Amino acid sequence: MAAATPPKKRRSPITRAEGERRLIEAAYQLTQDRPISEVGVRDIATLADVNAGFVHTWFGSKNDLFIAVVKQQIAELAADAVRAAPGTAALNFEDPKMVSTIRLLLWLHLEGVPIQNLFYNKIILDTLTKRFIEIENLDPKIAREAATIAISMGLAIGSFAPMLEMTGVTDIQPVMDLWRHILSLLAKYPPQ
């Protein structure tokens, strides 16, 4: 008589909120460890210990899950910007969270995923605008443009730092110092 194979371990039931949280965390973790194109739904679900079908049920697609990852990271980056002390950078271009968010965002864009609605509440833009008004004493008329420039710099440095031979904080710091100087000049001498 052959030995019966033991039954597979059954997953414990979880709430949708818990399942979504696990899937987002797993997708984020896997996109840190390998090329985004090599991250599969089954890999994400296995790491999250969630049935792979829930990716499609709860998010719609793998790309929609990646969009959820980007949204969560943007919210965390905005919270970090709010907590940044006056006189310090609101966004850290070397923060792995920043770099991976930019990387994932660019990948989604290059894959043809519509990302224009991803920033529907423009949380980072609004946070930086408020910070530039309240802390840097910029005129509200130019604070938003300054925030747009800061975000653009962050996207560029986060995406292309290695191509610009910027490999660490010592390479990025002069750019940040120049930006702080420009902000102080904008506060002192606003454009007419």
Which structural domain, as residue segments, surrounds residue 28? 15-60
Residue 172, pLDDT score: 82
Count of domains for the chain: 2
Q: What is the pLDDT of residue 38?
A: 94
45 and 140 in a single domain? The answer is no
What the block records as the tokens of 47 is: 């790491």
Classify residue 87: in a domain, yes or no: yes
pLDDT value, residue 12: 66
Q: Return d(Cα 104, Cα 85) in angstroms, integer.
A: 28
Q: What is the pLDDT of residue 42?
A: 97
> What CATH number is associated with residue 40?
1.10.10
User: What phi, psi does 70 have (nearest 5°)?
Assistant: -60, -45
pLDDT, tens digit (0-9, with 9 covering 90-100), for 123-151: 888 989 999 999 889 999 899 999 999 88
Task: Determine the Cα–Cα distance for residues 60 and 64; give it in Å rounded to an integer.
Answer: 6
With a cut of 50, list the residues of the chain below it in pLDDT: none
Query: Cβ of 60: how many Cβ atoms within 10 Å?
Result: 12
Domain assignment of residue 3, yes or no? no
Quick one: 80 and 31 in the same domain? no
* CA distance readout (Å), 148 to 82, 145, 152, 158, 174: 16, 5, 6, 15, 20
Residue 92 shares a structural domain with residue 174? yes
